[in-house]
Amino acid sequence: MCRRIETFHPSTSRIKQSMIFFLVLFLFTPSFLIGQNNQSPVPVFNVLQYGAVGDGKTLDTDAIQKAINDAAKTGNGAQVFVPAGRKYLIGTLELKSGIDFHLQGDAELFVSTNKDDYSGEAAVIANGANELTISGTGSINGRALEFMTHYDKTDEWWIFKEWRPKLFILTKCTDLKVLNITINKAPIWSLHMLGCENVLIDGIKIHNNLDVPNCDGIDPDHCRNVEIRNCEISCGDDAIVVKATRQKEEFGPSANINVHDCILETQDSGVKIGTETTQDIYNVVFERCEIKTSCRGLTIQLRDEGDVYNIVFRDITFKSRYHSAPWWGRGEAISFTAIPRTPETKVGTIHNILVENVTGTSENSVRINGTKESRIKNVRFENVKVTLNRWTNYPGNLFDNRPTKVYEGIEPHDNPGMYIRFSDQVMLKDCRVSWGDNIPDYFTNAIKAHDVTDLRIEGFKGEAAHPNRDQAIDVPENKKN
């Protein structure tokens, strides 16, 4: 069966009239995205219609903010449309509820270097926004080196000016999505989420300078119900780090966070909890991640009064190496430490930790290191395979306890494959320690422990770095609880 199609030939004048009508409609009213499956049209608020220039020289903050404000009045996913092919100079933009802030194509937000252009501590902020989406394949350029004074050749990093903006601070947002955007050259933290709930971070890319301090990748801070997936991050400081920073306001614990399928490169920790642990952090899973380079692969740094528990690291590969002295971390493969920050700190505890199917190469030990103030409890390593080797020329024969004013920050210490102290109920099952081609004298036992109770070792493979000198497993005391 076929239908008859009748042709229609409108007059030229009618075509012109229609074109003029639609041009006026486009210029002076919001446009619409037609949703699939007969959904209602989504209003689109084009920032160019609000006076944004996009030449990288004219400050576009006010124009873009007007588009955001109008879109927020409509809500329901109204799109703030930032067109491709332009560079938009901005100070602080405040995103609001119910909008999709969309960076089309190669659109670039270009942050101002003038502090007077900012009304907050970041280029993009949100406070209490619900159902906020940040999307698109565009980018934000943090111009990191323009916030630096000079490069310190001795310490091998940039020295920053008195003030530098974060790129995103998203506070107390619910049902938040950040999708596919690119963050470039952050001068300090890239994406900081404080007190947010029900968050999806998917497919974003972060390309920061590896020698700029504090330019973390993604920081969920006092956040709950967070998924971070399919991200590619290269940054000087921690790539993905779950925190509970000290705040004047109550934001609650960090909990129910899943990080997976990410590729990470950093001069600090690949995946991390801490050091700020002022409230509990629990139910966190890191899995299926590749840490291409770091100064610590997997890290828990408890320094404050919160407890850290029910944490899983699974199916992760890593490489960890020394960097210059100012960087925290001395090439540890895995570092779980519970150390009071100050003499006044009543430090919390680390317990219920699972590490499984983790493989990597490092220049320093696996550490499970509590203190007399805080013993680490109930840790299980299963199928963890680590190769220790030295390939950089930075000094070794040490552990890094920073930050602390109670113990030595840099502690002289030999480097076993796995080192455990002030810990209880630790299981090492089907683990392996290997050694590379460059084995210094301070590489020692495959496993070394003291001040431990209920340490169980099953199916372990490995020998000492210098088997003629040291025994493979050195555990002088192992009391049962």
- Letter for the amino acid at 117? D
CATH of the structural domain 30-266, one choice from 3.90.850.10, 3.40.50.10540, 2.40.110.10, 2.160.20.10: 2.160.20.10
Which residues, at least 6 apart from 187, have a Cβ–Cβ distance to it below 8 Å?
Answer: 142, 143, 144, 146, 147, 148, 160, 164, 165, 212, 215
Q: DSSP assignment of 40-61, as one string?
A: PPEEEEEGGGGT---EEEEE-H
Two tokens, residue 120: 């907050």
Cα separations in angstroms, 163 against 187, 259, 472: 10, 31, 51
- pLDDT score of 124: 98
pLDDT of 481 higher than 60 = no
- pLDDT score of 410: 96
- Smallest CA-to-CA distance from 259 within 193, 323, 305, 207 is with 193
Give the mean pLDDT of the chain: 92
| In the chain, where the domains are located | 30-266, 294-481
Confidence of residue 44 (pLDDT cuts 50, 70, 90): very high
Q: How far apart are CA 242 and CA 276, in angstroms?
A: 9
- pLDDT score of 476: 81
- pLDDT score of 41: 83
Cα separations in angstroms, 479 against 338, 450, 453: 21, 10, 5
Do 325 and 304 contact (CB within 8 A), yes or no? Answer: no
Query: How many other C-beta atoms lie within 10 A of the C-beta of residue 120?
Result: 16
What are the tens digits of pLDDT across the range 200-219?
999 999 999 999 999 999 99
